[in-house]
Each structure stands twice: as structure tokens, then as C-alpha cells.
């Protein structure tokens, strides 16, 4: 598989979403059978009732479209696809901001959807001349705010804690044999969406985590710096992370093929 395909945004989340949808379809088999039988009964009624051919064709088309829409909506909602789809918007916005054409020319690299056991996936690991960053992206339509050392109002796991633990996990992975890379990883949270944060400076440090108002990227992007990394270290860190991601995708594909 092409390495760029394995490093697609939300690759692990996408695989989990497909698995959740398949489980939902299998779990609700009786519901789908009832839905199909109901559609068949209505179809028979439309055919039997003496109505104009044109109107009958319209009703049959409407019934077919409604049945498919109902099926899709039930799978989309009950499998949790809605929340993951909203999360993908945040991931795409962050990736575009931190790896613009100018930043890539300066040596910034990104690894998306790195999965860590007992933690889940980390949306992005950004590696470049300014250091290594574990970034959690959030998209919210609900109003949220910073309270104590957390961002509250966002559905799902609390992002500040999630980013902090993710950064420690990556540091541990890089330190372990055979790579033995002693690298500081800075945790970052970027919040997007109509319910996002309103921060005067565009960013705020919360419990050692850089929390950013996604829409004000010109203010928070300069904060992704500090510890200067040489090109050799950047290449080694990126290679280790990309190799880990590649193994995860291959293992997932192998499991699904069985």
C-alpha cells in the first residue's frame, strides 16, 4: 500500500467507522428485514390500487428513495458516524493549517491517525524544525470554554487530558528500543467550529497544553516552535512514526481480510 494512503487523515478512525457500520447492520438484521417487508407491502398496495400510471411510478420512486434514506440514516446515527464525521472536519482544518505549502518547504512533516494501545488514536503528530507536537483536533457546534485545566462543552473525551497523555505516550514510544530517541513532545489542542473557543490571543496554555482557537491560526501557529530540531532528527522521528502507522494499517487490513 502506498505510504501516503496509510497517512491519510483519520485513517484509523475511518477503519473504526467502517467496522462500526458493519456491526450496526449485523446487529439490527431484524429491523432491516422488517423495513424491507414494509416497503414490499407498500409497493404491492401501490401496484394493486387503481391509480394513474404516472402517479403510481412517482409513488414507487418516492418509496424506494425513502427506504434507502431511512436505512442510511439509521446506520449513520446508530453507528456513531455523525460524531466521527464532525471530528473529521476538525482534523482536515488542522492538517491544512499546520502543513501549508510554506510550512512543508521549511521541513514540517505530519503523521495522521497514529493509534496507541490503551489510549486510542492521536489525530496528528507534527514533526519539524520547531519540535514535535501531539495534536488533538476538535470540531464543535456546542459552545465550549476553558475551565480550570480542561475544555468543557465538547462531546467526547476531554481534549486537554487526551493531548497530554498522547504526548507522553509518543515520548515513551520514541525512547523505547531500538530507536531510543529522547524527544520532548508538546501536546496541542485545536478547536474548530461555530461553537469553538474565543481566545483573545488566539491561544492559551492550559495545564501544560497549548489550546488554540482554530480560526485564528495566524496567532497560534507561531507558538509551534521552541526546541529546534536538526534535519536528521526530524527524519528519524518521522520514519519511526510512519513505520508504526504503516504496521497498524497492515494489521487492520489483515484482520479484516480473515
Pairing state between β 185-192 and 131-139: parallel
In sequence order, what DSSP letters do the residues of 132-167 get, joined into one string?
EEEEEEEE-SS--EEETTEEES-SSS-HHHHHHHHH
Q: Work out how many domains the chain is built from and give that number.
A: 2
Residue 172 burial (CB < 10 Å; 0-12/13-18/19+)? Answer: exposed
Last residue of a domain, one of 39, 54, 78: 78
- Do residues 72 and 97 both lie within one domain? no
pLDDT band (50, 70, 90) for residue 21: low
- Do residues 94 and 156 both lie within one domain? yes
- Do residues 245 and 175 both lie within one domain? yes
Q: Which residue has the higher pLDDT, 73 or 161?
A: 161
Give just the sign of the alpha carbon dihedral 103, 248, 160, 185. negative
Last residue of a domain, one of 31, 60, 78: 78
Asked if the structure places residue 24 within a domain, the reply is yes
Nearest to 244 by CA among 130, 151, 122: 122
What pTM value is reported for the model?
0.69
pLDDT digits (tens, 9 = 90+) for 178-190: 888 999 999 999 9
- Do residues 66 and 193 both lie within one domain? no
pLDDT of 213 > 80? The answer is: yes
pLDDT digits (tens, 9 = 90+) for 219-242: 999 999 766 778 888 999 999 998
pLDDT over 90 for what percent of the chain?
Answer: 35
Last residue of a domain, one of 47, 78, 109: 78
Asked if the structure places residue 5 within a domain, the reply is no
Is residue 123 reached through a cis peptide bond, with omega within 30 degrees of 0 on the bond before it?
Answer: no
Asked if the structure places residue 3 within a domain, the reply is no
**Mean local confidence (pLDDT), 63-83:** 59
What are residue 207's phi and psi, to 5 degrees? Answer: 60, 40
Domain extent, residue 19, equals 13-78
pLDDT of 72 > 80? The answer is: no
Asked if the structure places residue 35 within a domain, the reply is yes
- Do residues 98 and 45 both lie within one domain? no
- Do residues 34 and 58 both lie within one domain? yes
Residue 27, sorted as left (phi over 0), alpha (psi -120 to 50) or beta, turns out to be: alpha
Asked if the structure places residue 6 within a domain, the reply is no
- Do residues 141 and 251 both lie within one domain? yes
**Mean local confidence (pLDDT), 108-126:** 85
What are residue 195's phi and psi, to 5 degrees? Answer: -100, 15
Bridge partner residues of 110 (DSSP): 126
- Do residues 31 and 124 both lie within one domain? no
- Do residues 108 and 218 both lie within one domain? yes
- Do residues 70 and 109 both lie within one domain? no
Asked if the structure places residue 8 within a domain, the reply is no
Asked if the structure places residue 223 within a domain, the reply is yes
pLDDT of residue 188: 97
- Do residues 156 and 233 both lie within one domain? yes
- Do residues 127 and 231 both lie within one domain? yes
Asked if the structure places residue 135 within a domain, the reply is yes
Amino acid at each position: 500500500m502506498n505510504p501516503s494512503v496509510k497517512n491519510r487523515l483519520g485513517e484509523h478512525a475511518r477503519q473504526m467507522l467502517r467496522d462500526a457500520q458493519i456491526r450496526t447492520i449485523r446487529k439490527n438484521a431484524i429491523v432491516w428485514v422488517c423495513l424491507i417487508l414494509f416497503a414490499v407491502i407498500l409497493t404491492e398496495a401501490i401496484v394493486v390500487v387503481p391509480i394513474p400510471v404516472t402517479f403510481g411510478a412517482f409513488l414507487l420512486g418516492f418509496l424506494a428513495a425513502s427506504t434507502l434514506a431511512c436505512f442510511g440514516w439509521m446506520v449513520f446515527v446508530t453507528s456513531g458516524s455523525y460524531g466521527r464525521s464532525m471530528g473529521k472536519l476538525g482534523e482536515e482544518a488542522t492538517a491544512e493549517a499546520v502543513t501549508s505549502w510554506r510550512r512543508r518547504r521549511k521541513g514540517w512533516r505530519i503523521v495522521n491517525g497514529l493509534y496507541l494501545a490503551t489510549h486510542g488514536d492521536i489525530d496528528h503528530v507534527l514533526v519539524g524544525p520547531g519540535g514535535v507536537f501531539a495534536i488533538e483536533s476538535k470540531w464543535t457546534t456546542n459552545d465550549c470554554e476553558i475551565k480550570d485545566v480542561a475544555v468543557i462543552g465538547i462531546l467526547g473525551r476531554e481534549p486537554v487530558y487526551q493531548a497530554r497523555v498522547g504526548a507522553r505516550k509518543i515520548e515513551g514510544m520514541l525512547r523505547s528500543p531500538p530507536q531510543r530517541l529522547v524527544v520532548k513532545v508538546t501536546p496541542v489542542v485545536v478547536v474548530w467550529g461555530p461553537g469553538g473557543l474565543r481566545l483573545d490571543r488566539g491561544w492559551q496554555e492550559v495545564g501544560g497544553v497549548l489550546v488554540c482557537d482554530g480560526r485564528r491560526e495566524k496567532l497560534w501557529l507561531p507558538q509551534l516552535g521552541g526546541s529546534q530540531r536538526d534535519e536528521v532528527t526530524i527524519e528519524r522521528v518521522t520514519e519511526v512514526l510512519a513505520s508504526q502507522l504503516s504496521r497498524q494499517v497492515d494489521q487492520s487490513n489483515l484482520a479484516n481480510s480473515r
